Structure 1
Amino acid sequence: MRIRFSPATFFIVLATYLFYTGSATEYDVVTGSAVALIVSFLVGHWLVKNDLKFFSPKRWLYAAIYFLRYFFIEETKTHIDVAKRVFTLKANPGIVRIPLEVENDYGKVLVANSITNTPGTVVVDISDDGKWLYVHWIDVSTLDEKEVKENVVAYFEDYAKKIFD
């Protein structure tokens, strides 16, 4: 078993611990630090591949912009679209194949989760080579790969590359 301290894992686990306890008292910080230290030694090398990249301020800025825009703009637009489709019964559901250009596994997970969390789309499968996403889309308005990619994946993939590649 390989044991190596991972600062990135330590900070992620500590932040998660404090978030879920809902408190930042001295006791919680000490207990959370102990838990984070143990976790970062035992599994840190599996969770974060490159600690130095993790602490890049540019990556954190892109991540903040992505999540703010995603949760406040993209989610709102798609919730409204799906609500309209429910009341008007205008839907053209289907499964589309979308090319994926993100190389990093973390980026692929970000793209797949973002698509699945967005109303009207669900990632059904990722190809074995990781180059294609199969997505169930509530409104298959086109089968052209470029248009489908622009409508479903482009925003997520652009930021996934900036954050993880």
Structure 2
Amino acid sequence: MRFLPVTLLAFVLYIVITGSATPYDIATGAVTALVAGLLFGKYLVKNPKKALNPARWVAMIVYFIKYITIIELKAHLDVIKRVITGDTNPGIIKVPITVKDEYARFLVANSITNTPGTVTVYMDEKYAYVNWINVKTRDPDEARKEILEDFEKHAKRIFER
């Protein structure tokens, strides 16, 4: 049963990435996804019931759409402005992280790193160390609100509830 979430995700990604739903692509995607699910499902899925929860999949899709349309756009525009004006105050800031699930932590770290202007340098059990293009505050709690609070909210919804 642990192979099923990986198989479904791999199939959806295959169809989205190829941009085609011809019978050949569906068959190839199904075989590829099944192989991926059988090979990696036992390593990636701890709780198949939790992983197959439709509410989690919807939350993941909502987050992905919000991330690539709103969060990324704002960050790109901010970095463009800073490059043109030279208005930067870079630094590494220690930010408390509240999510506990390893997948949630991974999502938060990658969301920070993939957002222009921030890079997760290191993460331990309690803190993320973030290289920030414009350090607005050195207060860890205020920095958490600025940098990763929204990411954590979605990560909790997807992986911890």
Give me the TM-score of the superposition, normalised by structure 1. 0.88
Alignment counterpart, residue 144 of structure 1, candidates 128, 139, 152: 139
Separation in structure 2 between the aligned mates of residue 19 and residue 34 of structure 1, nearest angstrom: 16
Residue of structure 1 equivalent to 2:46: 49
Say whether residues 1:163 and 2:154 are aligned partners. Answer: no
Q: Which runs of 5+ in 1 are unaligned?
A: none
What RMSD over aligned residues (CA atoms) do the two structures have, in Å? 1.6
Residue of structure 1 equivalent to 2:126: 131
| Paired residue type of 1:38 | V
Give the secondary structure class of the aligned counterpart of 1:65: helix
**Map of 1:87-126 to 2, 5 A cutoff?**
87-126=84-123
Query: Offset of 1:83 from its aligned partner?
Result: 1.4
| Paired residue type of 1:163 | I
Check conservation: 2:2, 2:46, Cα contact below 8 A: no
Query: Offset of 1:156 from its aligned partner?
Result: 0.2
Q: Which runs of 5+ in 2 are unaligned?
A: none
Separation in structure 2 between the aligned mates of residue 75 and residue 117 of structure 1, nearest angstrom: 8
Check conservation: 2:94, 2:128, Cα contact below 8 A: yes
Query: Offset of 1:135 from its aligned partner?
Result: 0.4
Say whether residues 1:58 and 2:50 are aligned partners. Answer: no
Separation in structure 2 between the aligned mates of residue 119 and residue 99 of structure 1, nearest angstrom: 20
Give me the TM-score of the superposition, normalised by structure 2. 0.90
Name segments (4+ residues, structure 1) moved above 6 Å: none
- Give the greater-gyration-radius structure (CA): 1
Separation in structure 1 between the aligned mates of residue 70 and residue 78 of structure 2, nearest angstrom: 12
**Map of 1:56-95 to 2, 5 A cutoff?**
56-95=53-92
| Paired residue type of 1:13 | A
Residue-by-residue CA offset, 1:38-82 (whole Å, 9 max, x unaligned): 222222111222221122222123222222222221212111211
Which range moved further: 152-161 or 15-24? 15-24
